[in-house]
Amino acid sequence: MIIIEKLKKAQNLQKQRLFAEAESIYKKIIDHDKNNFDANIGLSIVYFLTNKISISINLLEELIKIYPDRIEAYNNLSNILISQNKYEKAIQYLLVAYKIDKNNIKNLENLFFLYFKKNNFIEAKKYAKLGISLNIKNSFIYNVLGQVFFKENEIQKSITNFKLSIKNNVLFWPAYDNLLTTYEQVNNLHDFNEVLLQANKLFINSQNLVRLKYFQALLLFRNNDFTKSINLLEKIKDKVNIKHHQSFYYLLGKNYDKIKKYDLAFKNFSKSNESILNLDENKKFNKKILLDLIEGYIKYFVKDNINQYDLFDKIDNYIDPVFLLGFPRSGTTLLDTILRTHSQTIVLEEKPYISNIRDEFFQSNDGLINSLEKIKFTQIKNIRKNYFKNIEYFDHKNSSKIIIDKLPLNIIEIGFIRRIFPKSKFILMMRHPYDSILSCFITDFKINDAMIHFLNLNDTANLFNQVFILWKQYVDNLNLKFHLIKYEDLIYNFDDSIKSLLYFLDIKWEDNLKFFNRTATLRDKINTPSYSQVIKPLNANSVARWKNYKEVEQVKDKIKFWIKYFNYPN
């Protein structure tokens, strides 16, 4: 009885964040009863909360050895590993716990969440289904399930699950946050406003009030009320949670850009980028990876190596795709939207179809780039078969249509693409280099080993330079069928610019191409940062934007060759 009272006292002290006092009591209990489960669990939590992570992990691992059937230790250990982004190890412990108790809802929630974080949506949905079978009103599962469907571009299913989460717990804020984010990203501002009004009534005095005001400012921005949006954001600036600094400063920067206060805009875009760099989850990304890949391609794709290739005139019955390429923020999403308006094209969603088959090929060839010289006819045939299977070629109603694979940085992979798709065509979307570089810097990208370059102007310019050194080498050494289309020509001379492209693609002009923005509004989700721009008619607001930002001066020397090469004004 004395031990039970001591445990309760330690747990109460722990709740009051009096960790030293709680730790002392737990240790005294353990001195008398070394293997006391509850005291060891409590002590492991105190160690975790006082940042003694490794000690906490060691303690829980030892406890699992002593009590292999006590699920609490597995769950606590997995929670610590999750906080350290050690998802694979956490999953291992949770799967053991699942074998012990298949009806533990917390365990199922954690497995579901971890598989979601690892983008393994099949396993994620499996454990979500099991969790919902135990608790049909589980708001947490519905909320994360909504995020799963959002990533899979199943937007209506995503929205349905966010709404189910709210229905089952009207005060569960994360579901409102995700639902508002989704409505804004799919350009459904009417329903965005409806949810915002509902949330305002429920959370007006809550800790989520600052986030609510951010969403109000976002709606003001989308409705072109930039000054009101700025005033609201400036009022809450000092209260914004650090995890939301990225989106907060990005929105503030966009507002200042719209009212032509470019110094303040650049300052806030810079703060947004700095906040991205400071996130622990982004420290795993390495700029060197992409630069090394490009450098390897530059060294390899020379005429001596290319001349070693066996060329195959007829491989299969598939029609080689057209690849829409360019440096990010060059207008590829705009051109994508225009082309998907045409009745004879199928434009693929922006996914890494090429990098997936490239990775698979090189992994099976010890990563040796010269394996492209030795590739056999049957290998090429199988790689092509996998590609067309991945893009669901036969699911399209008319396989005679032109397949357009749009992923801007596939420009790097032209050498590999030509080896596998020798009859492929390429569209290079070009924009004034200064505008592309600036736009990359001031755009809120999802970070990876490529996008990490865009967090400062010099890194962006350096990547631009390397990408187009490689492009020029491809043009010089490969017999590319390509068409260059300039963003500026598209804006100022739409008809002639598009007609020239259609001639290259061997398809005819259609009058509905002029109304491409209607196509954009019909799409569930546009998977690029331009989602709010391509639904609007053409305008010249983004042409020569670089002239507003004096900071562009710092990269001009690095890019001057390409200004001349692509015939742009300096």
pLDDT in tens, 465-502: 999 999 999 999 998 999 999 999 999 999 999 999 99
Are 258 and 228 in contact by the 8 Å Cβ rule? The answer is no
At position 20, the amino acid (one-letter code) is: A
Are 419 and 380 in contact by the 8 Å Cβ rule? The answer is yes
CA atoms within 13 A on the CB side of 320: 19
Q: Which residues of the chain have pLDDT under 70?
A: 1, 394-399, 519-537
pLDDT score for 400? 76
Token pair in block for residue 288 = 């060197």
Contacts of 561 (CB under 8 A, 6+ apart): none
Are 354 and 413 in contact by the 8 Å Cβ rule? The answer is yes
Are 158 and 141 in contact by the 8 Å Cβ rule? The answer is no
Nearest to 284 by CA among 437, 87, 112: 87
At position 287, the amino acid (one-letter code) is: K
pLDDT score for 367? 87
User: How many Cβ atoms are within 10 Å of 150's Cβ, its own excluded?
Assistant: 21
CA atoms within 13 A on the CB side of 533: 18
Token pair in block for residue 533 = 């721009």
Cα-Cα end-to-end distance for the chain: 83
pLDDT score for 198? 95
Contacts of 46 (CB under 8 A, 6+ apart): 14, 19, 22, 23, 26
pLDDT above 70 covers a percentage of the chain that reads: 95
Write the pLDDT tens digit of every residue in 201-232.
999 888 899 999 999 999 999 999 999 999 99
Token pair in block for residue 163 = 């709404």
**Separation CA 243–CA 37 (nearest Å):** 35
pLDDT above 90 covers a percentage of the chain that reads: 73
pLDDT score for 6? 84
Tally of residues, the chain: 570
User: Exposed, middle or buried by CB within 10 Å (0-12, 13-18, 19+), for 106?
Assistant: middle
**Separation CA 448–CA 285 (nearest Å):** 6
Are 558 and 461 in contact by the 8 Å Cβ rule? The answer is yes
pLDDT score for 300? 95
Helices 262-278, 245-258: axis angle to 10 degrees equals 160
pLDDT score for 523? 54
Contacts of 153 (CB under 8 A, 6+ apart): 349, 524, 525, 527
pLDDT score for 397? 47
Token pair in block for residue 269 = 């875009």
At position 277, the amino acid (one-letter code) is: L
pLDDT score for 532? 47
